[in-house]
Amino acid sequence: MTGEIEAMFGLNGKIAMVTGGAVHLGFDAAEALAAAGADLAISSRDIGKAEKSAAVLSGKYGTEVLPLALDHTDPRSVAKAFARVMEWKGRLDILVNNAGGGSTKASGNFLENSTDNIAAMIDLNLTGVIYCC
């Protein structure tokens, strides 16, 4: 970014976290934040994916990227991840609460899901998001 646009939208010196930031739409959000100059924490249930994506973002944009293992449906995992961000940078300016998705346990027809599967989807897409706030 240059000039007026950078002054308006630059994120140099800001600390951002993208849950589910290692792949797909979460990675795209993390990439946009890195391109704007933010240092990032990105999370995934799979730490290997987070580490690989962190290396890509850091190499491409020169920002610091902290990879984190996070199961955002588990309040203890959320507390541990946010504590790590606080240890790393001392604050969090931007949260992109991206993690979530569908379930691979049933067909695409919501009405055919078991009550356990519905509860798991609510944990993933609602409760987990609330824990991260």
Q: Which CATH number does the domain housing residue 26 bear?
A: 3.40.50.720
Residue 125 located in a structural domain = no
Closest CA to 65 of 83, 45, 89: 89
Number of domains in the chain: 1
Q: What is the pLDDT at residue 116?
A: 87
List, for residues 49-83, the tens digit of each pLDDT value.
999 999 999 999 999 999 999 999 999 999 999 99
Q: Distance (Å, rounded) from C-alpha 122 to C-alpha 120?
A: 5
CB neighbours of residue 106 within 10 Å = 17
DSSP string spanning 60-92? HH---EEEEE--TTSHHHHHHHHHHHHHHHS--
Residue 107 located in a structural domain = no
Residue 10 located in a structural domain = yes
Residue 35 located in a structural domain = yes
> How many angstroms from the chain centroid is the CA of residue 82?
11
List, for residues 18-47, the tens digit of each pLDDT value.
999 999 999 999 999 999 999 999 999 999
Q: Distance (Å, rounded) from C-alpha 90 to C-alpha 87?
A: 6
Q: Which residues of 71-81 are buried (b: 16+ CB within 10 A; e: fewer)?
A: bbbeeebbeeb
Q: Distance (Å, rounded) from C-alpha 49 to C-alpha 118?
A: 27
Q: What is the pLDDT at residue 104?
A: 61
Residue 67 located in a structural domain = yes
- Domain with 79, as residue range(s), is 3-100
Q: Distance (Å, rounded) from C-alpha 56 to C-alpha 70?
A: 19
Residue 69 located in a structural domain = yes
Residue 28 located in a structural domain = yes
